[in-house]
Amino acid sequence: MGLYRTVANARQAIGNPQSAIRAPSALAPRLIPAILAPMSIRILCLGDIVGRPGRRVVEQKLKGLVKERKIDLVIANSENIAAGSGITANLFHKIRSYGVDVVTLGDHVYRKADILPTMQASERIVRPANLAAQAVGRASTVVTTEGGVQVGVFCLLGRIFMNNMPADDPFATADKVLRQFPAGVKVIVCDMHAEASSEKVAMGHHLDGRASMIVGTHTHIPTADAKILSGGSAYISDLGMCGPYDSVLGRRKEKVLRFMTTSMPTQFDVATGDVRMCGAIAEIDETTGKAISMERVEVQGESVDPAYDADDKSNWQGGGGGGE
């Protein structure tokens, strides 16, 4: 927001020539570039927040990162925030208090029934837009930053290797959602929650130049392809997760290995070691919606023990599957 202050100072000097005369060396060299420079906002997208370890690292590290990097809007996929699968109303409000502005979801959207009223009432949480029209929750939202910039947010479910929830064509749905945003909304963010990298990459190209930032979630593994596409959209195939990396996708490695080596059903408990907060930051021209820069971000946290607390146990749902 320093740019706004520079432009404001420049305009004040233009309106009061004597002030410019008193301090020409400080103002004159910056006057024209400041006026012509694009107004921009910085958006931070966080990968899947996994259980208590993910919540703790976001609670401990997010506000400091927002201050340090001058972030204007924080979007976080939070479908795994409750005991590693699903989200509750209580945890939605907690994650909002940690500094998350908008919550996106995925295939575990309805694991916890008590989130349903919140999904109907709040503009700060969106379900995958390509679920059935009768599905509870908002398919998209428009929020306004403290600086007054409107940002459209929506998420989609991939269909390749995603067999646990029926979903409509994400490409056609994306086109429909974009048409429904008000004309004045120039900055748009899409969370593509999908298993196959090919489907995420294809969505990036499909939305290139029409969405400001396209980020992949679901696999819990950060990818090294953060970039700006040819049409001006910021893109990354997967943000990774906010959670324990000494694990198999956030679950205790010995439990997952036991299942994979014996074929016997095993509860995949949330792990606790090597906790990190991972995501990406894009700077967006607020007048055109085009990306100026795009970069991965990774913040080291602390190991968390135990893996569960009252917020998890009161809504416990054991896992026998992947937990992504």
**297: CB partners within 8 A, 6+ apart:** 44, 65, 69, 277, 278, 279, 280, 281
Would you state the structure tokens that stand for residue 174, as one six-digit string?
A: 């994306």
DSSP type of residue 230 = T
Marked catalytic residue, from 108, 193, 218, 220: 108
Residue 252 and residue 32 in contact, taking contact as beta carbons nearer than 8 Å: no
247-259 per-residue burial string, b: 16 or more CB within 10 A, e: under 16: bbbbbbeebbeeb
Cα 79 to Cα 227: distance, rounded to the nearest angstrom: 25
Cα 224 to Cα 27: distance, rounded to the nearest angstrom: 41
Alpha carbons within 13 A on the beta-carbon side of 249: 17
User: In angstroms, how far is CA 316 from the centroid of its own chain?
Assistant: 25
Q: Write the single-letter amino acid at 163.
A: N
108 is catalytic: yes
Tokens 């009223």 locate to 117
Residues with active-site annotation: 108
